[in-house]
Amino acid sequence: MSEKLQKVLARAGHGSRRAIETMIMQRRISLDGKIATLGDRVDVRQSTKIRLDGRVLAITESNAAICRVLAYYKPEGELCTLHDPQGRPTVFDRLPKLRTSRWVAVGRLDVNTSGLLLFTTDGELANRLMHPRHEVEREYAVRVFGQIDEDKIKQLNKGIQLEDGPASFHKISFQGGEGINQWYHVTLTEGRNREVRRLWEAVDVKVNRLIRIRYGDINLPKGLPRGGWTELDLKAINYLRELVSLPAETVSKLPVEQERRRMKANQIRRAVKRHSEKKRADTRQIKKRRL
């Protein structure tokens, strides 16, 4: 069955449907060698060639277009990019390999921020979840260093003018701590670059630990180690789709036995350990070659 060209490209993670429609009108996209138009439909096969500015795009075959979502516990030190020229670890390194689709990150976390990061095979879902108009709530656990009084909390709740516009926390709750090292939970509905850190810095408070613990109603899974991932079941996927006005899915790639129980933490830990050992071995080999 054929689908609109913009729908196929959005699902593959190349932008929102509206953004892709603009590219089509700008004559930047071609379909099998011909300049695409807004009415074009496509039945995606291995031989299909879609280009943007002359570059062939990775696309998803229609018969493999089942929406999948992973919850990943990002460690500090990993970059939110597909490839790093310097060979540093990225959030994509440990994800399961796909043949006919690809993982699209739902937003980003700074290299020094850890916690929940969602990935999906549905680019349209990722784009909508990231768009500010849907106001999907994110919650972070923050360890701060500095003197905090009621006036600073009021400022953070009321709003602070940052270099890219006003920003504020929707909620701030004290979680404990000693002296000037204290833990807070904060929530906001935007994903601007370093927004949590910049808000605290605006009131002369330093953030020395930042962990995302929730995205919408999806919590960082208990027992999931840093660098581990688990696949969400159909109920959780359809919750995310409903948040951004996408139709519900009726099938899942997740095996039935995994829908009934979460992947055991020790299984994930073994996978993380194997990956870490391989990384260390690769690093040692690179150092030997340099010597």
Both tokens assigned to 77? 């030190």
C-alpha gyration radius of the chain: 21
The DSSP bridge pattern shows strands 206-215 and 114-120 to be parallel
Give strand pairing partners of 207. Answer: 144
d(CA 27, CA 174): 53
Catalytic residues: 110
Q: Please give the Cα distance from 15 to 50 (Å, whole number).
A: 14
C-alpha dihedral (114, 120, 122, 126), degrees to nearest 10: -20
Q: Across the strands, what pairs with 53?
A: none
Q: Containing H/E element for 116?
A: strand 114-120
For 154-172, give one letter per residue: b (16+ CB within 10 A) or e: eebeeebebeeeebbbeeb
CA atoms within 13 A of residue 212's CA, in its CB half-sphere: 33
Q: Which of 67, 13, 8, 11 is nearest to 249 (CA)?
A: 67
Question: Using the 8-state DSSP alphabet, how is residue 79 labeled?
Answer: B
What number of other Cβ atoms are within 10 A of residue 46's Cβ?
A: 8
Angle subtended by helix axes 123-130 and 234-243, to nearest 10 = 50
- What does DSSP assign to residue 155? H
